[in-house]
A = this chain, B = another copy of it.
Amino acid sequence: MERVIIDMDEVIADPMGEMISWYQETHGGKVDFEKMLVGSWVKGFPEQHWEMVMERLLAPGFFRYLPVMQDSVEVIREMNRRYEIFIVSAATEFPNSLKDKLEWLLEHFSFISWKQLVLCGDKRVICGDYMIDDHVKNLQHFKGKSFLFTTPHNLRVTGYERINDWREAGAIFLK
Contact = CB atoms under 8 A, between A and B. Distances in A.
Interface stretch (A9-17, A31-39, A87-95): A87-95
Contacts of A119: 92, 98, 118-120
A126 interface: yes
Contact of A118 (B5, B115, B118): B118
- Chain A interface: which size bin? 20 to 34
A128 to B, nearest CB: 7
A29 interface: no
A86 interface: yes
Copy number in the complex reads 2
Given A86-B122, A86-B125, A117-B120, 11 more contacts: A88-B125, A92-B102, A96-B99, A98-B102, A113-B121, A116-B122, A118-B119, A118-B120, A118-B121, A119-B120, A126-B127
A47 to B, nearest CB: 25
A160 interface: no
Contacts of A92: 102, 114-115, 117-119
A42 to B, nearest CB: 18
Contacts of A125: 3, 5, 86, 88, 118, 126-128
A103 interface: yes
A31 to B, nearest CB: 28
